[in-house]
Amino acid sequence: MLETWNYRQDVRDDTDALVDLEVEALDGEIGTIVEESFETDSSHLVVDTGFWIFGTKRLIPAGAVDRVDLIDNKVYINMTKEQVKNSPEYNPPESDYPGEDHYQPYVEYYSGFPWT
């Protein structure tokens, strides 16, 4: 399951900033990256979905990232728009050290994906 929360080595260079890049699902654009985390075993993107899902944000695990295209300013993920829409809404932690309970909805939702 740790693959879910880590980038593949061939996907990104640690020096590449991904904030403000567009995110493309398997079947279309889903939004813009507004936050990112590179922490080992908990790397993820936070995507602002804009109008598409009523202005909510979604947490996308690093393992879902298929490739990063810095020329087109896009991050491609191995998820459909429907899968993103059905994922838990992102709620930022209230402290710098949130407990495991905070991340449990994301861990549960993403545990069955093929890249886990």
The answer to the question of residue 79 being in a domain is yes
Q: In 3D, which of 59, 21, 26 has the Cα closest to residue 42?
A: 59
Domain span at residue 105? 2-92+100-110
Q: Give CA angle at 81 (77, 86), nearest 5°.
A: 110
Q: How confident is the model at residue 98 (pLDDT cuts 50, 70, 90)?
A: low
Please tell me the predicted confidence (pLDDT) of residue 75.
97
DSSP tag of 94:
S
Cα 45 to the chain's mean position, in Å?
A: 4
Q: Is residue 11 part of a domain?
A: yes
Task: Say how many domains are in the chain.
Answer: 1
User: Residue 85 belongs to a domain with what CATH number?
Assistant: 2.30.30.240
Kindly report the pTM of this predicted structure.
Answer: 0.88
Residue 115 in domain? no
Domain presence at residue 116: no
Which whole number is the average pLDDT over 56-74? 95
**Residue 58 domain flag:** yes
